[in-house]
């Protein structure tokens, strides 16, 4: 069942949007500041196309906004759906990747997380289509970025 304009007339969905934005961006920023690249990452051999470190923050901020809005839209339309379960799974995997990569320094484990994340993002895109026309499209840049991150992660694991 899709959300209708009536679903957005009360304050509750707008409060929920604020919660989604604060949670996704806030937890992502907290994890990012606690697991920032350090000497270990700097010492790794990087593949071609590896962007400079300053690119990651703005890209992830934009992606986190889209992830939050997509999750919120599905939560309003179908809070107990498979799409919402995929959304939760990809979010937990997303938050797990940086600590495993930067703090535990485990590129292969991080790659396994990335593969599971990619599958849950794809699952969200497919499952959310029956509930909303916008939410799946909000995840297209995300799956593209995670695909690129998979190339970087796998390349670094192989090169080092």
The CATH number covering residue 133 comes to 1.20.1260
- DSSP-derived secondary structure letter, 52: P
What's the number of domains the chain is made of?
A: 1
Cα 131–Cα 60–Cα 122 angle in degrees, nearest 5? 35
Q: Going by C-beta distance under 8 Å and a sequence separation of 6 or more, which residues neighbour residue 85?
A: none
Length of the chain: 160
Per-residue pLDDT of the chain (160 residues; tens, 9 = 90+): 566 555 667 888 899 999 999 999 999 999 999 998 889 999 999 999 999 999 999 999 999 999 999 999 999 999 999 999 999 999 999 999 999 999 999 999 999 999 999 999 999 999 999 999 999 999 999 999 999 999 999 999 999 9
For 105, the domain range is 5-159
């Amino acid at each position: 069942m899709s959300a209708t304009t009536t679903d957005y007339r009360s304050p509750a969905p707008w409060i929920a949007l604020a919660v989604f934005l604060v949670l996704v961006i806030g937890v992502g920023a907290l994890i990012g500041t606690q697991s920032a690249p350090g000497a270990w990452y700097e010492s790794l051999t990087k593949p071609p196309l590896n962007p400079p470190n300053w690119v990651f923050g703005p890209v992830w901020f934009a992606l986190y906004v889209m992830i939050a809005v997509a999750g919120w839209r599905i939560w309003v339309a179908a809070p107990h759906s498979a799409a919402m379960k995929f959304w939760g799974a990809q979010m937990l995997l997303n938050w797990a990747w940086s600590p495993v990569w930067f703090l535990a320094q485990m590129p292969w484990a991080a790659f396994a997380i990335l593969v599971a994340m990619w599958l849950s993002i794809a699952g969200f895109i497919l499952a959310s289509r029956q509930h909303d026309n916008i939410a799946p499209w909000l995840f297209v840049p995300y799956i593209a970025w995670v695909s690129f991150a998979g190339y970087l992660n796998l390349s670094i694991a192989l090169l080092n």
